[in-house]
């Protein structure tokens, strides 16, 4: 009876360890995919619009408002503004 109890405990511990490894693996996959997909592709036309607007003296807020009012996705516009800011 004691060996049966020990065997069940060992199986339970192994099951917990394997489950933790699987969860850790899935978490790293999710986080690595999030890093790769969090930056949507920014169209060159949006980048050019921002660069030209900045060179003409428009603020980033004005350029953001103009792009969003023309239907561009806010996240794409914000990513473009960040990208232009990193290049300067």
Q: Which residue has the higher pLDDT, 4 or 13?
A: 13
Smallest CA-to-CA distance from 64 within 73, 56, 55 is with 73
Give the global pTM: 0.54
Q: What pLDDT, in 10s, does the model give residues 24-80?
A: 999 988 887 665 554 557 899 999 999 999 999 999 999 999 999 999 999 999 999
Sign of the Cα torsion 36, 66, 82, 54 reads positive
């Amino acid at each position: 009876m004691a060996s049966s109890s020990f065997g069940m405990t060992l199986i339970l511990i192994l099951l917990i360890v394997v489950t933790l490894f699987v969860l850790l693996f899935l978490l790293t996959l999710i986080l690595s995919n999030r890093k790769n997909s969090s930056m949507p592709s920014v169209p060159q036309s949006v980048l050019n619009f921002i660069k030209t607007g900045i060179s003409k003296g428009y603020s980033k807020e004005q350029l953001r408002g103009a792009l969003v009012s023309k239907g561009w996705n806010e996240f794409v516009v914000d990513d473009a503004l960040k990208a232009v800011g990193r290049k300067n």
